[in-house]
Amino acid sequence: MREPTQEEGTLLDVRHLTIGFPAEDGGRIDVVRDVSFTVDAGETVALVGESGCGKSVTALSLARLIPSPPVSYPTGEVRFRGVDTLRLSRRDLQAVRGSGIAYVFQDPGTALNPVFRIGFQLCEVLAGNRQQRREQALDLLAQVGLPASSFQAYPYELSGGMQQRVVIALAIARHPVLLVADEPTTALDVTIQAQILDLLKQLQQKLGMAVLLITHNLGLVADVAHRVNVMYAGMLVERGEAEVVLRHPAHPYARGLLDVVPRLERVTGRLSGIPGMVPAPGRLPSGCPFADRCPHTAARCREAVPPEIAVSEGYPVHSVRCYFPLVSSGGQHA
Ligand SMILES: Nc1ncnc2c1ncn2[C@@H]1O[C@H](COP(=O)(O)OP(=O)(O)OP(=O)(O)O)[C@@H](O)[C@H]1O
Ligand SMILES: [Mg+2]
């Protein structure tokens, strides 16, 4: 299967990433398993899956925000601009975290310091003299659609949606080339969710940064993502161009996610349309991790984890980990 090369603008190239945590019996439990995907410069890529699939662990590991052994055991490679962040020195890692990869998390309340005004918190992460920082902070507020008066406000004086805009302003303050947004809208009201996604899309286009959008809601990605990676029980089970995956999902799990798309609603963590639950790491069925919930499970599915196979040729690659994909290898849809 052809993979994009650095010359083609690959910004992030995650290869065979596996992350384990220590188990009580002294062994390790892998919660992310053999995950490979890429993000090109300036594009939006979604990482989608139910609660507990390993999305946040994957996201945090990109800038190595999960401490290495004995806390976690990452293997594989996370190539960011050609350099493996899993093997960077502490100093080089700071540079990646500062202006390379920035994060926006689910709950804006916890990302802001309640005792400082918004303007102060923005100025803190900016460079230059007082006047320059103030100007940059006001410019950032405007970029995220907030009035200049928010400069003087305390976080509690702003709504949840406005707070998330401030968090996004903080994240883009140092011009990241990759913004990782981990469930950036699930703590917000329905209408505000759409506005925040729209803002992320606008900023991605205007600033030319890449966005890794993490969500449990496959329906949300249609308007924003160029590519989609569908994650299940620590593995990527399908990846491809968003339009193609959403229209012709090849993995029964992706199909199931689409069938139950909870459009713009609060996260419940469970999808009623797919029976059962994500198996806990360490309690996976043998073979395909989705076998216990899949409507198409056959004996073969219990024998070994399906390898990743190409569904169609071309770039970006559309691939699936399934012995019986819903799309035939010739690109004809079953
Ligand atoms: N520090 C840790 N130590 C041990 N296990 C962990 C740790 N962090 C996460 N896990 C486990 O790893 C698995 C994946 O967790 P993760 O937070 O990545 O899921 P997620 O896909 O982001 O889910 P959600 O949609 O609920 O945010 C879970 O089973 C979780 O319990
Ligand atoms: Mg998470």
Reply yes or no on whether the pLDDT at 73 is more than 50. Answer: yes
Instruction: Give residue 334's pLDDT.
Output: 43
Domains held by the chain: number: 1
Reply yes or no on whether the pLDDT at 264 is more than 60. Answer: no
DSSP-derived 3-state class of residue 180:
strand
User: Is 114 a domain residue?
Assistant: no
Mean pLDDT of 57-79: 94
User: Is 224 a domain residue?
Assistant: yes
Q: Which of 31, 60, 62, 266 to mutate for ligand 1's pocket (most ligand atoms within 8 Å of CB)?
A: 31
Closest Cα to residue 304, out of 235, 230, 231? 235
Place of tokens 């969710």: 193
At 318, list the tokens.
């559309």
Closest Cα to residue 116, out of 84, 157, 63? 157
Compute, in angstroms, the gap from residue 56 CA to the centroid of ligand 1: 7
Q: Which of 33, 57, 61 to mutate for ligand 1's pocket (most ligand atoms within 8 Å of CB)?
A: 57
Q: Alpha-carbon distance 136 to 124, whole Å?
A: 11
User: Is 48 a domain residue?
Assistant: yes
User: Is 222 a domain residue?
Assistant: yes
Compute, in angstroms, the gap from residue 280 CA to the centroid of ligand 1: 10
Q: Work out the angle between the directed axes of helices 130-143 and 118-125 (0-180°, nearest 10).
A: 110
For the beta carbon of residue 266, count every other beta carbon within 10 angstroms.
Answer: 12
Does ligand 1 come within 6 angstroms of the Cβ of 20?
Answer: no
For the beta carbon of residue 135, count every other beta carbon within 10 angstroms.
Answer: 12
Check if the beta carbon of residue 10 is closer than 8 Å to that of residue 36: no
Instruction: Tell me the percentage of the chain whose pLDDT exceeds 70.
Output: 91
Instruction: Give residue 262's pLDDT.
Output: 54
Instruction: Tell me the percentage of the chain whose pLDDT exceeds 90.
Output: 75
Reply yes or no on whether the pLDDT at 137 is more than 90. Answer: yes
Check if the beta carbon of residue 17 is closer than 8 Å to that of residue 62: no
Closest Cα to residue 62, out of 205, 144, 176? 176
Instruction: Give residue 282's pLDDT.
Output: 86
| Phi-psi sector, 31: left (phi>0), alpha (psi -120 to 50), beta | alpha
pLDDT digit string, tens, across residues 146-175: 999 999 999 999 999 999 999 999 999 999
Q: What is the mean pLDDT of the chain?
A: 90
Pairing of strands 83-84, 101-104: unpaired
Strand arrangement of the beta sheet that strand 318-320 belongs to: 101-104, 178-182, 210-215, 44-48, 227-232, 235-241, 318-320, 309-312
Domain containing 39: what range?
6-89+212-320
Closest Cα to residue 256, out of 49, 56, 58, 52? 49
Check if the beta carbon of residue 170 is closer than 8 Å to that of residue 146: no
Which atom of ligand 1 approaches the CA of 216 most closely?
25
Check if the beta carbon of residue 168 is closer than 8 Å to that of residue 105: no
Reply yes or no on whether the pLDDT at 145 is more than 80. Answer: yes
Instruction: Give residue 8's pLDDT.
Output: 59
Report CA-CA distances (Å) from 229 to 77, 98, 136, 331: 17, 26, 35, 19
Compute, in angstroms, the gap from residue 76 CA to the centroid of ligand 1: 19
Residue with the bigger pLDDT between 274 and 322: it is 322
User: Is 74 a domain residue?
Assistant: yes
Instruction: Give residue 272's pLDDT.
Output: 52
For the beta carbon of residue 18, count every other beta carbon within 10 angstroms.
Answer: 17
At 274, list the tokens.
């797919």
Q: Which residues of 62-77 are buried (b: 16+ CB within 10 A; e: fewer)?
A: bbbebeeeeebebebb
Nearest CA to ligand 1 atom 9: 57
Check if the beta carbon of residue 239 is closer than 8 Å to that of residue 246: no
Q: Alpha-carbon distance 167 to 170, whole Å?
A: 5
Q: Residue 261: pLDDT band by 50, 70, 90 thresholds?
A: low
CA 186 to chain centre: 13
Reply yes or no on whether the pLDDT at 315 is more than 90. Answer: no
Does ligand 1 come within 6 angstroms of the Cβ of 31?
Answer: yes
Mean pLDDT of 56-80: 94
Reply yes or no on whether the pLDDT at 78 is more than 90. Answer: yes
pLDDT digit string, tens, across residues 188-216: 888 899 999 999 999 999 999 999 999 98
Instruction: Give residue 190's pLDDT.
Output: 84
Pairing of strands 210-215, 227-232: unpaired
Burial level of 204, CB count in 10 A (0-12/13-18/19+)? buried
Place of tokens 């989608």: 48
Residue with the bigger pLDDT between 38 and 219: it is 38
Reply yes or no on whether the pLDDT at 319 is more than 80. Answer: yes
Nearest CA to ligand 1 atom 3: 21
Reply yes or no on whether the pLDDT at 3 is more than 70. Answer: no
Identify the CATH number of the domain in which residue 52 sits.
Answer: 3.40.50.300
Does ligand 1 come within 6 angstroms of the Cβ of 33?
Answer: no
User: Is 225 a domain residue?
Assistant: yes
Reply yes or no on whether the pLDDT at 1 is more than 70. Answer: no
User: Is 39 a domain residue?
Assistant: yes
